[in-house]
């Protein structure tokens, strides 16, 4: 999935490792990521955490998307800072999952992110599910 993720790659993110329900992604804060306060815009930090979350929840194989996410910012990041986002699966149930991501600058916690995932049905599965119900699949 990361190999075709132009958005994350365009922000300079690098996938360092991925495992069963886990991922580690790195990004260096650039001048273009700095907000009016002179710190990294929270949207870029969120994007880093979201990318690690996406890599972790898609590590199982089926196409999985975010159903929701939230983030708590605990410290600022500045231009030149190298941030790493470490994602780990907390639980999976049915087609859903919960993942926690910690964003670090060295050993300092910058943000804590929680993502909720949902496995989506393929078009083939959706077509099969709609067959026999008297309606076309959407």
Task: Write down the mean pLDDT value for the chain.
Answer: 91
What average pLDDT does this structure show over 115-137? 61
Residue 98 within a domain:
yes
Residue 28 within a domain:
yes
pLDDT bin (cut points 50, 70, 90) of residue 121 is confident
Side-chain-facing half-sphere of 120: CA atoms under 13 Å: 9
CATH number of the domain bearing residue 36: 3.10.129.10
Using alpha carbons, select from 80, 8, 9 the residue that is nearest to residue 40.
Answer: 80
Confidence (pLDDT) at 21: 96
Residue 71 within a domain:
yes
Using alpha carbons, select from 64, 60, 50 the residue that is nearest to residue 118.
Answer: 64
Residue 39 within a domain:
yes
Beta strands in 56-136 (DSSP E): 64-73, 82-93, 96-105, 108-119
Q: What is the pTM of this model?
A: 0.87
Confidence (pLDDT) at 1: 86
Residue 35 within a domain:
yes
Whether residue 134 has pLDDT greater than 70? no
How many domains is the chain built from? Answer: 1
Using alpha carbons, select from 31, 25, 64 the residue that is nearest to residue 46.
Answer: 25
Cβ–Cβ contacts within 10 Å for residue 74, how many? 12
Whether residue 33 has pLDDT greater than 60? yes
Quick check: 80 and 28 in contact, CB under 8 A?
yes
Residue 129 within a domain:
no
pLDDT bin (cut points 50, 70, 90) of residue 138 is very low
Residue 8 within a domain:
yes
For 75-106, write each residue's pLDDT tens digit. Answer: 999 999 999 999 999 999 999 999 999 999 99
Residue 131 within a domain:
no
Using alpha carbons, select from 120, 109, 19, 4 the residue that is nearest to residue 60.
Answer: 19
Domain that holds residue 57: 2-124
Whether residue 136 has pLDDT greater than 80? no
Confidence (pLDDT) at 41: 99
């Amino acid at each position: 999935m990361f190999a075709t993720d132009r958005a994350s790659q365009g922000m300079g993110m690098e996938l360092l490792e991925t495992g069963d329900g886990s991922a580690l992604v790195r990004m260096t804060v650039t001048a273009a990521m700095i907000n009016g306060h002179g710190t990294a815009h929270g949207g870029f930090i969120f994007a880093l955490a979201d990318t690690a979350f996406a890599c972790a929840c898609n590590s199982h194989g089926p196409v999985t998307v975010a159903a929701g996410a939230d983030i708590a910012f605990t410290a600022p990041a500045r231009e030149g800072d190298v941030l790493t986002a470490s994602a780990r699966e907390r639980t999976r149930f049915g087609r859903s999952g919960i993942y926690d991501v910690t964003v670090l600058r060295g050993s300092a916690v910058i943000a804590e992110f929680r993502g909720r995932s949902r496995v989506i049905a393929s078009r083939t599965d959706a077509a099969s599910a709609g067959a026999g119900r008297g309606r076309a699949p959407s």
